[in-house]
Each structure stands twice: as structure tokens, then as C-alpha cells.
Amino acid sequence: MSRCQDDLLELTADVLVIGGGLAGNWAAAAARRAGASVVLADKGYCGTSGVTATAGPGHWWIPPDPADLRETAIAARRKSGFGLNDAGWMARTLAKTWESLPTLETYKFSKDEKGATQYRALRGPEYMRALRQQSENLGVEILDHCPGLELLQRADGTIGGAQGIRRQAGGRWRVNCGAVILATGGTSFLSRLLGSHTNTGDGYLMAAEAGADFSGMEFTNYYTVAAKGSTMTRSMSYVFATYYDEDGEVIPIPAGLDTSRPLAAALLKGRVYCDLHKTPEDIRAKVPIISPNFLLPFHRWGIDPYRQRFEVTLHGEGTIRGIGGLRITGDNCETSVPGLYAAGDAATRELVAGAISGGGNINSAWALSSGQWAGEGAARFASSVRSRAPGRPIGQAGLQPDSAHTIDLRGALAIVQGEMLAYDRNIFRRGDRLLRTTRLLDDLWKVVSAHALGEGEGILRTRETAAMLATARWSAASALARDESRGMHRREDKPETDPRFAGSIVSGGLDAVWVNSASSQKMELAS
């Protein structure tokens, strides 16, 4: 049911999905197949917004036979994840991915030289277009350019909808429903990571306002190399890179996956340059096919990256290729708030990635799987809720200030980026620096939450800034609480892994941020 009154478009559905990326579309499809009526609200144009649309996503793709193939892969991943990931969730994700991709009839999968269909790797733009088509074919009602601003909560504490703005049509939207799925992605704190401009942590803030909590937020310090001045963070070609300092000396890069630490150390001393002359000829021939946008900046600059050196930088990936997100409390990706579900990068990926990056094939498989589990769970929950009466809007920061004053949003964002992206603070972490960061961000939050009021076209940017600030606070507090080094979280003052921190760090709160270990042992923030 829908109605338009004044500037408000009001809809009623069983399930609302906020976010139209990979996870959101799989969630919408699953909820629809479970018999629910579904509305999907996307911040941009569903099928083009988000990080998948600019990528070439591969999936964690392992056949079920022989059985030891998956068992071996899971054991290896559990070891590399420093024990924070779960074998059961990994097995479920592998199985769900294997059974689901071949059902995507709206995508034209490629074939190998023997004619076998290749399901694992897809082309991002075509993949997203196919997912939108799948959603439309199933009868999902899509609201394009309709960012969500706040959740609606019923008197019993369950989530009964959300509301936001219609950026192009003008006015507002509200959806009254039985359950909500947050598939809003993570955030890189607007680091200029390719495709992440709409990923500002909006879902995290909305969920926290409802009382939801988070897990793994300390693992937000993954960085990707890119040519300086470019957002092109497709990193496959940098496997063959040679890096140089300002004097032309080769920067030694130890073998292994983590190149960000030696590069960051060099960048703190001066400019860093790179060439790709070691790239094999057969790989060079395939790059325009595998990563068709990778060479575009070089073409514009008139640089041959295989022969000429160019300056590079590192872009922080925050919770996108980090792993933190909303804590999952059940097999259907329930959050700690009834009626609220999370999928993709909005949810923690500790369950499958552990303490190392969830980027690449694990993230894609997780987005596909968690989306469908959330869709199925939300549809089931909605069927148990008879009322579709509007809930109470619960948005706070940027919407309901104690007293409205002009806030320098650019300045606030610069502070957040300085604390969450600077190499010396976020890669080379120390307890004293993290403590300073938590205090600085807490003080900034007091000002923003008490006085920021988004109005007109500024309402979205105000909420986005508040969301990134809130996310930064949970990340910094969790990093301070994890008083050790584990996986991508490296503490210069605590270089060893400590068995006392073998579990997850759970965080939450808005006016007062809190952190707990998974064993419920309270860990007081130093303050």
C-alpha cells in the first residue's frame, strides 16, 4: 500500500531493505521468495552505487566434493584469522554461495576454454545490473536516490520501518513494515576509495540509535595502494610493483600480503614512487579485461606504468575491507534489536574473516550469503508481526539537537579522517595515541550530537558526518580495548598476541561509548 500526502511518500510492506548493493539485492530477493512484500531504498541508483559496482568481485568458491577441499580451506582460513572466525559460519557461507550463484539467471556467466561455466568471478557493473533486474523481476519495489535517515521503533522495542528523503523527486519517504534489513555497507571515512562515496556508515548510526551493538570494530586499518591523485584502488596490478623512495632507492617489501606497513613507513618519510615493469606480458594483456578501469588514470596522465615511475599513496578502507560491523546474534543475521537485521559490510565479518581483512572473495561470498539469510529471517519475523502501524522515529544526531547551532561539518570530518586514516595513528597504533583519539572524538561528538541540525539539502551530509564520527569512536575505543596485536590490528606498544584477547571485542553506545569482550568481562575505557 502506498499513499502520497504533501511531500511524504508513505509505503507499507513486510520487509524494508536499506541499501541496494550486492548484499541488499540478495536480501530483497530472498525476502521476496519467502513470500514477503519488499521495498528496497537505495541512497543512489540501485545497481550503480556502492563498491561492488566498480569492482570485479570474485567469490569464495570451493566445490563440495571431495569434502576435504572445504575442510582444508576452512582450517587454513581459521588459522590465518587468528581464531576469531567460526568454522560453522564459513561452511554455511561456502555452501550458500555455491548453491546461489548459478541461480542468477539475469547474469551471463563466462565460460572457460573447455566450455565450463565460470561462476566464481563476475564483472561488477554487469553483476549489479543483473541483481537489480532480479529484484525487479521478483516484484521488489525499488526507491532510487532515497537515503534512509532514521529507523522507526515500535513501543515494544521492535523495529517497524524507517524514513528518509527523496533526493531527486523531492520530499520525504517513510516505510512502515514488519522488519528492516540494513545493507548500507561500511565506511572508509570518505578516503577516496573507489566506489565508496556513498558508504558513510549510515546504517551503523541508525542501528546504534535503536540500541544495537558492534563487533570487531578495531579491525579498521586496512589500506590499499593507488596512484596519487587517483581513486583507482584496484590493487591486483600492484602485486608486480617495485617501489622507490625520493632518492630512487628501492623500498624493500617483505614477502606476504601486508604491504601497507612498509609503504606507510616510507610515506611518513617522504614521497613514494612505483613502476610495474615486473608485470608479465600475459598479465598486461589481460589487465584491460580483468580491471578495465585500472589504466584509465594513466592514459589521462600520459604515463606508461609498465615503463615509467609514478607517485603512489595509500587509501584507508575503514570497515569496507576491515571487518567490523553490527554484531550478529543468530543464524539469520539478526542484530541485538528485534526486527533489525544486517547484511554485507553493515554486519561484522569476524565470523568468516577473523582478524584479517574481509576484502576480496570472502567479502563477496559473505554479502551474498548474509543478504539471503537476513532476507529469509526478516520475512519470517515480519509474518509474526501483525501491526504495520508507524513506529516512533528515533534518529538523534543531526536531527534532534538540544539546541541548534552552526557546526563546521567539513572541519568535523577532517578531524575524523585525521584520526582514522593517518598512517602514524591508525597503522602504527599505540595505546597513548588511541587514548588521545578517543578523548578527542568524544569531545567532538558532544558538540555534534548536541547542536548539529541538518536542514534542506544539508540534512544528509549532517547525518553522514555524525555516522562517520560515531563509527570512528567505536573503532578507536575497540582498538584501545584490544590491548595486544592480532591480525591487522597491530599495536606498537603491545606487539605480541595475548591469549586473554582471544575473543571478540563488542562495542556500542552513543553519548557514552562502551566496550566488552565476548566473555562479558567489562573492560573500562581509560578516560
**352-388 burial: b if 16+ Cβ within 10 Å, else e:** bbbbbbbbbbbbbbbbbbbbbbbbbbbbbbbeebeeb
Residue type, 346: A
DSSP lists the bridge partners of residue 15 as: 38, 179
To 10 degrees, what angle do helices 409-421 and 431-451 make? Answer: 160
**pLDDT(527) > 60:** no
Whole-number pLDDT of residue 256? 67
Residues in Cβ contact with 287 at an 8 Å cutoff, skipping those fewer than 6 apart: 236, 237, 279, 294, 295
Give the single-character DSSP code of 140.
P
Mean pLDDT score, 287-292: 80
- With contact defined as beta carbons under 8 Å apart, do 377 and 334 qualify? yes
pLDDT tens-digit readout, 209-243 = 999 999 999 999 999 999 999 888 777 889 899 99
Whole-number pLDDT of residue 94? 97
pLDDT tens-digit readout, 23-82 = 999 999 999 999 999 999 999 999 997 788 887 788 999 999 998 999 999 999 999 999
pLDDT tens-digit readout, 170-195 = 999 999 999 999 999 999 999 988 88
Whole-number pLDDT of residue 31? 98
